[in-house]
Amino acid sequence: MELPQNWEVRHSRTYSKDYYFNTLTKESRWDPPPMGENERIRASHLLIKHKDSRRPSSWKEGRSFERNYFWVGNSEKGEVEDLRNEPNEPSPAISLLSPHMLTPHLFSLSLPQEKILRTKEEALEILKRHQKRIETGETTLSAAATTESDCSSARRGGDLGHFERGQMQKPFEDAAFALEVGQLSEPVFTDSGVHLILRTA
């Protein structure tokens, strides 16, 4: 099997199986790395959570924002962590900086947060109102994410940074990689909630 540049197959003694290792970034993963020029993209999002979200709380509900993230290497991780695939792989070195807007879904390390009680349908309606405002030019996804997203990335205008296939929940990944740069998605459902995604690179 041909691999992208800097990737090689190694063997895990712990798990007794082969994995893929990037000699440049030191990333490791069980699944083969993607081929082609769209290997890494950057996106922003706006997330609206609902009562059935994986973590049905928001930085907005507890009014605590400054400590709604923790560091992993050089990456901020909060809601961004929730978007990632449940790892069955060695801990990859990642840099998530894609703009995105999350509405209900962020736990705080400082103040307790109220559980989100809205339904999935109500979350979708809220997201559609934001979508309309963005599409008519009344606001931008970045501006809306800053005040309305339930993701910790709101602090960065919804920016999730760069990511590769296999690092986000599958519905989010599929939607983000299908977008052209500058294109806004339709609402996307994941375990985190409902998202609008803007591909930025």
Q: Annotated catalytic residue: which of 44, 45, 113, 130?
A: 45
Active site residue 108: no
50 catalytic per annotation: no
Q: At what angle do helices 141-148 and 120-135 cross, to 10 degrees?
A: 140
Is there a contact between 104 and 58 (Cβ–Cβ < 8 Å)? yes
Cβ atoms within 10 Å of 138's Cβ, excluding its own = 11
Residue 38's DSSP bridge partners are none
- 3-state SS, residue 157: coil
Q: Say which of 98, 167, 169, 185 is annotated catalytic.
A: 169
Query: Going by C-beta distance under 8 Å and a sequence separation of 6 or more, which residues neighbour residue 88?
Result: 30
The H or E element that residue 135 is part of is: helix 120-135
Could you say which of 100, 108, 151, 167 is catalytic?
Answer: 151
- DSSP letter (8 states) at residue 9: E
How far is 169 from 14, CA to CA, in rounded Å? 26
CA 132, 137, 139, 140 dihedral sign is positive
Give yes or no: 151 in active site: yes
What is the SS3 assignment for 47?
Answer: strand
Catalytic residues: 45, 151, 169, 192, 195
